[in-house]
Amino acid sequence: MAVCCVMADTVKIPGLLLTEHEFRVPLDHSAPDGEQITVFAREVADPDGRDRPLLVFLQGGPGQEAPRPSRVPLNPPWLDRTLADHRVLMLDQRGTGRSTPVGTLDGRTPQEQADYLAHFRADAIVADAEWIRRELGVDRWSVLGQSFGGFCALHYLSVAPDSLAEVYFTGGLPPVGLHCDEVYRATFTRMTEINGEYYRAYPGDRDRVRKILDLCEAGEIVLRGGDVLTPRRFRQIGHALGMSGGAERVHYVLERDPSSPSFRHDLADLMPFNGRNPLYAAIHESSYSDGCVTGWSAERVLPDAYGEDSTLLTGEHVFPWMFTDYSELAPLREAAELLAAWEWPSLYDADVLRSCEVPAAAAIYANDPYVDRALSEETARLIPTLRPWLTSEYEHNGLRADGARIMDRLISLARGRL
């Protein structure tokens, strides 16, 4: 069933030419005549670079939309360097941004919710990209994958390498053929180390954390929206520690009076899982499933140390209790349980990756608590054309912190200039 692009408007903003596309695509690409959803993509070009080859940006998540581009101020920071060689197609991955949104899926049974949400993994996102590539009449294009976007890019290399000219990974080169339990054990190991680094930098914060946990236990911290903050939910502020400036951000919230409005407001912003992006919580663990049942993996492999020391903060880890403690996620609680028992198909084909001929480069962050460095290096060794750059200069959000330099190095690596 051919479904064409239903919109293509071009607008100019200072220094950039933006062409906005909306596509109608199948919810389930194996059933093209079934339910349809909209996927939005914004093409960004230098006014003098309208004929440059396309590069598709696949953002982190899952469940987060692409950046909204501007040149004054520059956003995202890697844009100028990339536009020197490409036009950039910023894809609002299905369920995000201007694409058909995913909310609480009211009116559907838990099984219907789960069946729907099962179509929002990397494999479906890549199928959308291929649909769009064909609609635009593009032979090959390049891909830049940040974090979860790198998981999508590796799936792309596994299933449609002939559609790719170059592939770039930043903080998102996933393991291949590994059970998700091994992935979460590795991330907990690094997260425990980061906790130690944080408390050595801010030794007074351990007592602050204990006092806040006591307030949580007594039900005395109520967040905007009315949720009573539980101790286990509070500990998820550790998610910020994996980002550049994250330790300072956490410290400057914790130093405030817990009874102040600013404390409660900014504390809520430190917690990564909320109702704005419900996909992030609902299908996060499935992102690490390369052909396995997740079964609440992070909960299952949580180290004993986190039970013994309540001041240890957790990172990018999803737990079943979140769908109770976060009122905005509660409507998806039963669906999340069903997805935890889902038989997920494999995302990556090791044999295809071993025979890869597509030029590729990856920034691997040595201290990354989200995507383990050693596991990324194993994947890098699997792909003969991939040139890795292991660096301790950046945290997980290096592309946002120093995007021009990172993109320049990756482009040079992929093209054999370094």
DSSP SS3 for 247: helix
**Phi then psi for 386, rounded to 5 degrees?**
-90, 130
> What does the alpha-carbon distance between residue 204 and residue 252 come to, in Å, rounded to a whole number?
12
Catalytic residue, from 46, 123, 128, 368: name it: 368
Asked whether the beta carbons of 372 and 150 are under 8 A apart, the reply is no
Own/partner pairs for 18-25, CB < 8 Å, 24+ apart?
Answer: 18/42, 18/43, 18/44, 18/45, 18/69, 19/43, 19/45, 21/132, 21/136, 22/98, 23/128, 23/131, 23/132, 23/135, 25/94, 25/127, 25/128, 25/131, 25/132
- Judge whether 147 counts as a catalytic residue: yes
- Judge whether 368 counts as a catalytic residue: yes
Catalytic residue, from 99, 147, 163, 289: name it: 147
Considering only CA atoms, which of 249, 251, 256 is closest in space to residue 215? Answer: 256
Catalytic residue, from 21, 239, 284, 396: name it: 396
> What does the alpha-carbon distance between residue 272 and residue 277 come to, in Å, rounded to a whole number?
9
- Judge whether 396 counts as a catalytic residue: yes
Cβ count near 206 (within 10 Å): 14
Considering only CA atoms, which of 343, 338, 382, 341 is closest in space to residue 360? Answer: 382
Residues with active-site annotation:
147, 368, 396
